[in-house]
């Protein structure tokens, strides 16, 4: 994949003629980097940049890196030299140290060994080309004659004929899932009656007497006795609903002295 690079010239860390250049992307295996550093990986192509102008070196570096990646080259050698003005750091060496990390194709680089120009050059480890053209599932011109397409068309014809002859099948419908009666849910937050219903009681009754609607009758009257009896029956019924069944025992009730 060809990328359009714009390599910046903003040098932050200045290097000198005797400096060793070294760089690796995060996650780079240490074993692979040591092989590059010690010159164990044979370089497969070389770029000579000594004696050319900065802009020409920039364009040559971009074209060289991309061409080597397309050719599946893994390790290359770039010679930058140490040419500089009097008592000044080598400009091209600083630019190479700043340009190479801007390439996505560069995994690592390190100053070369003495047999390969020494600190006048760098070994560069490149990534492999990842853009792979996937083949089509069927070759061109053979899609209409494949078994899969022919079988699919035959199945479609059989389905349409079955529908025309009235053999269309419907899904089973459960009456419970499609009831005509709409279930109305109680409003959220409404107080629910959680009183246990006794099996013998089939209706809800008012548990208590409203003194405003049913004032207590005078004492020692027939109305008062009926009032007290009704109140006791309501209290008993309330205990039954709450699950507090009366305890029956055959033991005699103790009497006082």
CATH number assigned to the domain comprising residue 35: 3.30.1370.110
Distances (CA, A) of 17 to 28, 77, 112, 254: 27, 18, 13, 116
pLDDT at residue 218, as a whole number: 81
CA-to-CA distance for 237 and 250, rounded, in angstroms?
23
Average pLDDT over residues 172-189: 51
pLDDT at residue 77, as a whole number: 96
CA-to-CA distance for 172 and 14, rounded, in angstroms?
80
Domain for residue 133, yes or no?
A: no
Per-residue confidence band for 110, with pLDDT thresholds at 50, 70 and 90: very high
Domain for residue 93, yes or no?
A: yes
Question: Rounded to two decimals, what is the model's pTM?
Answer: 0.50
Domain for residue 119, yes or no?
A: yes
**166 pLDDT exceeds 50?**
yes
Q: What does the mean pLDDT of the chain come to?
A: 75
Q: What is the pLDDT of residues 66-95, one digit of tens each?
A: 999 999 999 999 999 988 767 788 999 999
- Across 6-10, 19-23, 28-32, 140-144, least confident range: 140-144
Per-residue confidence band for 237, with pLDDT thresholds at 50, 70 and 90: confident
CA-to-CA distance for 94 and 236, rounded, in angstroms?
100
**145 pLDDT exceeds 60?**
no
**163 pLDDT exceeds 80?**
no
pLDDT at residue 225, as a whole number: 86
pLDDT at residue 6, as a whole number: 72
**234 pLDDT exceeds 70?**
yes
**172 pLDDT exceeds 70?**
no
CA-to-CA distance for 100 and 166, rounded, in angstroms?
73
pLDDT at residue 134, as a whole number: 39
Domain for residue 176, yes or no?
A: no
Domain for residue 136, yes or no?
A: no
Domain for residue 2, yes or no?
A: no
Range of the domain at 94: 29-126
**155 pLDDT exceeds 80?**
no
Q: Which residue has the higher pLDDT, 129 or 190?
A: 129
* Sequence-separated contacts (24+) of 95-99 with Cβ below 8 Å: 95/9, 95/11, 95/54, 95/57, 95/58, 96/21, 96/49, 96/61, 96/122, 97/13, 97/15, 97/21, 97/23, 98/7, 98/8, 98/9, 98/10, 98/11, 98/12, 99/7, 99/58, 99/61
Q: Which residue has the higher pLDDT, 34 or 235?
A: 34
Domain count of the fold of the chain? 1
Domain for residue 6, yes or no?
A: no
- Across 35-44, 156-165, 176-185, 194-203, least confident range: 194-203
**192 pLDDT exceeds 50?**
no
pLDDT at residue 30, as a whole number: 94
7-11, 207-211, 212-216 — most confident range: 7-11
Average pLDDT over residues 139-150: 51
Domain for residue 241, yes or no?
A: no
Q: What is the pLDDT of residues 26-67, one digit of tens each?
A: 999 999 999 999 999 999 999 999 989 999 999 999 999 999
């Amino acid at each position: 994949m060809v990328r359009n690079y714009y390599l910046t010239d903003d040098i932050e860390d200045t290097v000198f003629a005797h400096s060793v250049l070294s760089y690796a992307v995060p996650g780079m295996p240490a074993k692979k980097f040591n092989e590059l550093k010690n010159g164990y990986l044979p370089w497969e192509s070389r770029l000579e940049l000594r004696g050319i102008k900065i802009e020409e070196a920039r364009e040559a570096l971009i074209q060289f890196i991309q061409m080597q990646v397309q050719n599946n080259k893994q390790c290359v050698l770039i010679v930058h030299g140490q040419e500089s003005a009097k008592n000044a750091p080598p400009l091209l060496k600083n630019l190479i140290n700043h340009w190479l990390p801007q390439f996505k194709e560069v995994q690592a680089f390190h100053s070369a060994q003495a047999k390969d120009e020494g600190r006048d050059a760098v070994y560069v480890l490149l990534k492999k080309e990842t853009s792979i053209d996937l083949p089509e599932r069927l070759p061109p011109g053979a899609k209409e004659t494949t078994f899969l397409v022919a079988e699919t068309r035959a199945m479609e014809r059989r389905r349409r004929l079955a529908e025309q002859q009235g053999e269309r099948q419907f899904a089973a419908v459960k009456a419970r899932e499609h009831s005509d009666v709409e279930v109305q849910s109680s409003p959220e937050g409404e107080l629910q009656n959680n009183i246990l219903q006794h099996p013998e009681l089939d209706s809800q009754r008012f548990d208590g007497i409203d003194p405003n609607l049913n004032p207590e009758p005078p004492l020692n009257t027939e109305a008062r006795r009926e009032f007290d009896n009704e109140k006791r029956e309501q209290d008993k019924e309330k205990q039954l609903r709450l699950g507090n069944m009366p305890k029956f025992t055959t033991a005699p009730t103790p009497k006082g002295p």
